[in-house]
Structure formats: C-alpha cells, structure tokens
Structure 1
Amino acid sequence: MIITKDLCKVFRTEEVETSALHDVNLHIQRGEFAAIMGPSGCGKSTLLNIIGLLDNPSNGSYIFNNTDVTKKSEKQRTHFRKGNIGFIFQSFNLIDELTVFENVELPLIYMGLTASKRKAKVNEVLDRMNISHRAKHYPQQLSGGQQQRVAIARAVVTDPNLILADEPTGNLDSSNGTEVMELLKELNHSGTTVVMVTHSVRDSEYADRVIHLFDGKVVSENKHKQIKREPIKEEL
C-alpha cells in the first residue's frame, strides 16, 4: 500500500540547508499497523507529512495504492488525500466554534455529500466511538479523552483506507491513552491501515511493526507479537 524508494527531504533557507530524511525505503502493507519511533528531530513527523501528502520529498519516490503520488500536482495530491487518508493529531485540532457533530461532519461537507447522508454517516461514526451522547457539545465541554474520540471520528468518517496518527496519546493520561490505542487497534482490525508516530514504547506495542528512525534514516525494524487487550470501555 505504501512504498517509499530512496526518499529524501531537504529544507532550505537562504543560509541553511537541513537534511531531514535520507534514503528512506519503506514497504507498509495494506491492513498493517506500523509505528514510527525515534528521538526528537529524527524526521518522524516529516516522514508522516510526506506519507499523508501534506509535503513532497526532495528526492526519491512515494507510491501509494499503486500510484506514484510524487508526480502529482498539489491540487491532485489534495484530492487524492481527501478520499484516502484520515489524520489524528496530538493536539486534537478540533474547531472550538463547532459542536462535536459539526466537527465530525466537516470532511463530508468538503466531499459534497447531501445533508441527509452526512447526518446518517456522522451518527453512525459517533455511535461507533461511543461519543454520540456528546454530539451537541463543544470541544471545550469535553475531557481530553473525549476530544480525541471526536478527532478519531472525524478521521474515519470518510472511510479512509489509511489513518495517520501523530502522537495520538501525547496529551492524554495513561487511562485515556489506553482507550485511544484500543480504538486505533479496533479500526486496524476492521481493515484500516494505521501508521503512527509515537515516543511511547507502550503505545508501540499495539503495532504489528515498529520502524526506528535516527538522524533521518531507518536504522532498524522489529515486529511485535500480538498482545491481547481488554475491550474498550464505554466512555473516556
């Protein structure tokens, strides 16, 4: 599903040139849960941005769903991203002025779905995330764990085949963090490919494979045995 070949990323200013990624070669299969780990500044988020079509590599190629997306224009990448990729961020990135329902509905509006189809889909996803009882609330009225549930609901409401999660438990306590990881694993078990950046060794245990970056390079990979987890609780 995801193949990068000799992927490089260089950031340039008038006086400074910084290499963020060096010859990164990855092959992430459809339905896999992959975690990317490494120290701060090693290129994790840069790699995730390229995988998510938010940025382009300086050199090398990125093939997503059998398409070399590095050859696409920015407009084409944006269109490709909307139909295929969902994003989950550490800071939730919810819009304070919108209710839970409206936050989750937003991607469907961009896709041009009718109001009736949007309502049905949002209600379905909120039920799945066990947050439907908060549909009329605003983000500031929710706990951190509930906000991340809403963020996950927004990411999956378009039925993407790839979820990208950047430190999804970074702003949560241990209990709520576990709940969020259970949700991501549940989504993965349903067939969604998940690629997660994390500093947490505990969170990485949910992944099928851990990819270690150092100084912009893949230095090692290891597979995890599947860990039996308790079912998710009703509410964060």
Structure 2
Amino acid sequence: MIKIENLSRTFYTEELETTALNKVNLQINEKEFVAIMGPSGCGKSTLLNVLGLVDNSAEGQYYFEGQDLQKLSTSKKTEFRRDNIGFIFQNFNLIDELNVFENIELPLRYQKRDKQFRDQAVNNVLERMGIAHRKKHNVSQLSGGQQQRVAVARALVTNPKLILADEPTGNLDSKNGDDVMQMLEQLNKEGATIIMVTHSPTDAQKAHRIINLFDGKIVDEPIKV
C-alpha cells in the first residue's frame, strides 16, 4: 500500500540544520498495523506528518497504492489527504467552539457531502464509538477518554484507507488507553491500515510490526525510549 524510498527531511534555522529523517526506506502493506517507536526527537512524528501529507517538504519518493504523491501539487495533496487519510492525535485536536457532532462532521463538510449523508455517517460512527448520547455536548464537557473517542470517530467518519495515530494513548489513564487500543485493534481487524507512533512498549505490542527509529534512520534493534 505504502512505499517510501530515500525519504529525507531537514529543518533549517538561522544557526542550525537538523536532519529529522535520513534516507528512510519503508514498505507498509494494506490492512497492516504498524507501530513506530524511538526516543524523543528521532523523527517519529516527522515521518507520520510526511506520510499524512501534512509536511510537504521531504525529499525522496512516497508511493501510495502505486501513485507518487511527491509529484502532486499542494492542492492535490490536500485533496488526497482529505479523502484517504484519517488522523488521531495525542492532544485530540478538537475544536472547542463545536459540539461533538459538529467536530466529527467537519471532515465531511470539507468533502462537500450533503446534509443527509453527513447526518447518517456521523450518527453511525457515534453509535460505533459509544458516544451517541454525547453528540450535542461541548467537547470541553467530556472526559479525556470521551474526547479521544470523538477524535477516533472524526478520523473514521470519511472511511479512510489509512489511519495515522500519533501517541493516541499519551494523555489517557490506563483504562481509557486500553479502550483506545482495543478500538484500534478492532478497526484493523475490520480492514483499516494503521500506522501508530508510540512511546509505550505495551501499546506497540498490539501492532503486527514495530519499526524502530533512531537519529532519523530505521534501525534493527529497539532503542531505549
């Protein structure tokens, strides 16, 4: 499904040059659940941002189902991300001014779906996440676990081919963290391809494969995080 070749990303400031990714080569199969691990600053989140087309400044090749995404224009990359990729963030990234329903509905608005389609899709995913009774609540009224369920629902509502999860249990207690991991495992069993960045060895063991990063490179042995 995904193939990247010689992927590099360097950040520049006035006095410093930092290589976050250094000629990374990687393949990820459809319906695979992959965990990315490594110490802080090793390039994990940068890699996720490149895969999610949030960071468009990387060098190298990025193929998604055979299509070279690096050759797309910025607007085409935005459309591809909107239609094919769902994101789950450690800090939830919900919009406080919108209620639960409206937060989940937002990606469908970006897709310019009609109201009937949006209502059905959002209500279906609300039921699936067990938060239908909270759909009119402001997100600030929810617990951390409930907010992450909303974030997962928002990632799922467009039925994306790829789900990218950046430390999805990082701000949760153990019970809610376990619940989120069970949700991700179930989504994977249902056919979703998932790439997850995590510091948690326990969470990583739920994946099919663990990729270890160190100093912007994939290494064979895990590095203590």
Considering the TM-score relative to the shorter chain, is it more than 0.5? yes
Query: 1:60-209 alignment to 2 at 5 Å?
Result: 60-209=60-209
Which residue identity is paired with 1:138?
N
CA RMSD of aligned residues (A): 1.1
Contact kept? 2:62, 2:69, Cα under 8 Å: yes
In structure 2, what is the equivalent of residue 14 of structure 1? Answer: 14
Q: Distance in 2 between matches of 1:221 and 1:103?
A: 40
What's the TM-score, normalizing by structure 2?
Answer: 0.96
After superposition, what is the alpha-carbon deviation per residue over 1:70-112, rounded to whole angstroms, capped at 9, x for unaligned? 1111111000100000000000011111111010011111111
Secondary structure at the counterpart of residue 220 of structure 2: strand
Return the offset for 1:57: 4.7
Q: Distance in 1 between matches of 2:204 and 2:159?
A: 24
Return the offset for 1:12: 1.6
| Greater relative CO, 1 or 2 (CA 8 Å, sep 6+) | 2
Contact kept? 1:211, 1:221, Cα under 8 Å: no
Which residue identity is paired with 1:153?
A
Which residue identity is paired with 2:60?
G
Q: Distance in 2 between matches of 1:57 and 1:186?
A: 33
Runs of 4+ in 1 over 3 A off after TM superposition: none
In structure 2, what is the equivalent of residue 232 of structure 1? Answer: none
Return the offset for 1:14: 3.0
Q: Report the more deviating stretch, 8-17 or 185-194.
A: 8-17
List runs of 5+ in structure 1 lacking aligned partners: 223-236
What's the TM-score, normalizing by structure 1?
Answer: 0.92
Contact kept? 1:95, 1:103, Cα under 8 Å: yes
Q: Distance in 1 between matches of 2:58 and 2:158?
A: 30
Secondary structure at the counterpart of residue 23 of structure 1: strand
Which residue identity is paired with 1:66?
G
Which residue identity is paired with 1:60?
G
Contact kept? 1:8, 1:57, Cα under 8 Å: no
Counting matched residue pairs gives 222
In structure 2, what is the equivalent of residue 217 of structure 1? Answer: 217
Secondary structure at the counterpart of residue 14 of structure 2: coil
Q: Distance in 1 between matches of 2:5 and 2:56?
A: 13
Contact kept? 1:7, 1:57, Cα under 8 Å: no
Return the offset for 1:221: 7.0
Secondary structure at the counterpart of residue 41 of structure 1: coil
Q: Distance in 1 between matches of 2:221 and 2:65?
A: 22
In structure 1, what is the equivalent of residue 56 of structure 2? Answer: 56
In structure 2, what is the equivalent of residue 234 of structure 1? Answer: none
Return the offset for 1:35: 0.3
Secondary structure at the counterpart of residue 184 of structure 1: helix
After superposition, what is the alpha-carbon deviation per residue over 1:23-80, rounded to whole angstroms, capped at 9, x for unaligned? 1110000000000000000000000000001113542111112111011111110001
Contact kept? 1:161, 1:192, Cα under 8 Å: yes
